[in-house]
Amino acid sequence: MTNRTQFEREREREGETTLSTLLRRGEMFDTNCPGREILKHLTSRWGVLVLIALLEDDHRFSDLRRKIGGVSEKMLSQTLQTLEADGFVKRFSHPVVPPRVDYSLTPIGREAAMKVREFADWIEINIGRIMNGKRVAEA
């Protein structure tokens, strides 16, 4: 019994490939490409914020909720569940009452979060140039 997809088996046969090489070969347009889903989760509205917050420190649910202003309990919960299912976030529920749950990054989650932050930082560092280019482009 295997959970490996057709996609994965093909990758193994062909050796390590990247999104860009897949694109060059025209294979990555498969909607089932798992990387697209991961990218979506990692760059989702609240996913970015959760990852960057957890990169600084572990947080419990209500800490994240306070830190990430504007997020509803529903969306925070949903985002955390998705990232946990992807293996990026680890959830630890302390067996106490009242409930206390801590969220932290897994090793790969930390790597992913650093990539996300790197990308987000690039945008922030260049936001001036970008906004400037927008005005020129519109003129």
Residue 15 interacting partner from its own copies, DNA, none (CB closer than 5 to 8 Å by kind): none
Tokens of 123: 């945008």
Q: What is the dihedral sign for C-alpha 10, 109, 91, 45?
A: negative
- Residue 60 three-state SS: strand
Residue found by looking up tokens 């630890």 in the block: 92
35 contacts its own copies (rule: CB under 8 A): yes
Cα 7 to chain center, whole Å? 21
Return the number of the residue (27 or 63) whose C-beta is nearest DNA: 63
Tally Cβ neighbours within 10 Å of residue 118: 9
43 contacts DNA (rule: CB under 7 A): no
Sole binder of its own copies in the list 1, 6, 15, 20 (CB under 8 A): 20
130 contacts its own copies (rule: CB under 8 A): yes
Phi, psi dihedral angles at 88 (to 5 degrees): -90, -25
Return the number of the residue (88 or 103) whose C-beta is nearest DNA: 103
CA pair distance 48, 76, nearest whole angstrom: 12
Residue found by looking up tokens 């997809």 in the block: 5
Binding residues for DNA (CB under 7 A): 44-46, 60-63, 70-75, 77-78, 80-81, 91, 93, 98-101, 103
Q: Which residues bind its own copies (CB under 8 A)?
A: 3, 8, 11, 16-20, 22-24, 26, 28-29, 31, 34-36, 38-40, 42-43, 45, 48-49, 52-53, 55-56, 67-70, 84-87, 106, 108, 111-112, 115-117, 119-131, 133-138
